[in-house]
A and B are shown apart, each in its own frame.
Chain A
Amino acid sequence: DAKTTQPPSMDCAEGRAANLPCNHSTISGNEYVYWYRQIHSQGPQYIIHGLKNNETNEMASLIITEDRKSSTLILPHATLRDTAVYYCIVRVAPSNTGKLIFGQGTTLQVKP
């Protein structure tokens, strides 16, 4: 599985967009980028995933660079409840196992 690199921590002002970067320079052509988050004391929560096109859902947007070596998760209007650890995961292709391997993630602190 391709490894990912994320900054250990970030701050964001409440109401502003939070942009969380992730590097995955060794990603293979058939590997997806997944984002999860973990709010304190809870189980990880799925946010979004993508292959090469940008994706948007009710929670966030995912921007993947054209060379697919990096991506950015965007929370358009961060709230205090978005304070969490955010994990960027490159997942083995659907034809394989489907397992998720978590790194250390980025701790996002949303401040009033």
Chain B
Amino acid sequence: DAGVIQSPRHEVTEMGQEVTLRCKPISGHDYLFWYRQTMMRGLELLIYFNNNVPIDDSGMPEDRFSAKMPNASFSTLKIQPSEPRDSAVYFCASSRDRGEAFFGQGTRLTVV
């Protein structure tokens, strides 16, 4: 398996624009997590899914953020409208049952 695949690896966008981050989990994994990492706040859990259903979105910073998982092999994290403070590295991770989580390489988002 190629591991967790995230796209794009880098994204630069202007404030106010919509940004969509994509994640393909490892096949057979039933948990999917979205994290955000900044120097100030470290790694923060934004939301996670189990069997494509959002279980806990308490980490989503505000209504500008939304996440979907339309099927077992794909998830998106959308920011609309984007703001400079959203600049961070966003990681997606997946796990099978409650085993160890495998992380993607991340998407580095810069909002100017």
Contacts and interface: CB of A to CB of B under 8 A. Distances in A.
A43 interface: yes
B105 A102 contact: no
Nearest to B44: A102
Given A46-B101, A97-B56, A103 B42 contact: yes
A44 B55 contact: no
A104 B56 CA distance: 22
Interface residues of B, number: 24
Contacts of B97: 94, 98
Interface string B87-112: 00001010101101111111000000
A112 B28 CA distance: 41
Interface string B45-75: 1001010000110000000000000000000
Nearest to B106: A43
Given A43-B105, A49-B100, A99-B33, A104 B91 contact: no
Main secondary structure of the interface of A (DSSP, over half): loop
Nearest to A42: B105
Given A43-B91, A43-B93, A94 B98 contact: yes
A99 B74 CA distance: 19
Interface size bracket, A side: 20 to 34
Contact of B31 (A46, A98, A101): A98
B43 interface: yes
A14 B108 CA distance: 31
29 contacts: A34-B100, A38-B43, A42-B105, A43-B4, A43-B91, A43-B93, A43-B103, A43-B104, A43-B106, A44-B43, A44-B103, A46-B101, A46-B102, A94-B98, A97-B48, A97-B56, A98-B31, A98-B48, A98-B50, A98-B97, A98-B98, A99-B45, A99-B48, A99-B56, A100-B33, A100-B101, A102-B42, A104-B42, A105-B42
Interface of B: 4, 31, 33, 35, 42-45, 48, 50, 55-56, 91, 93, 95, 97-98, 100-106
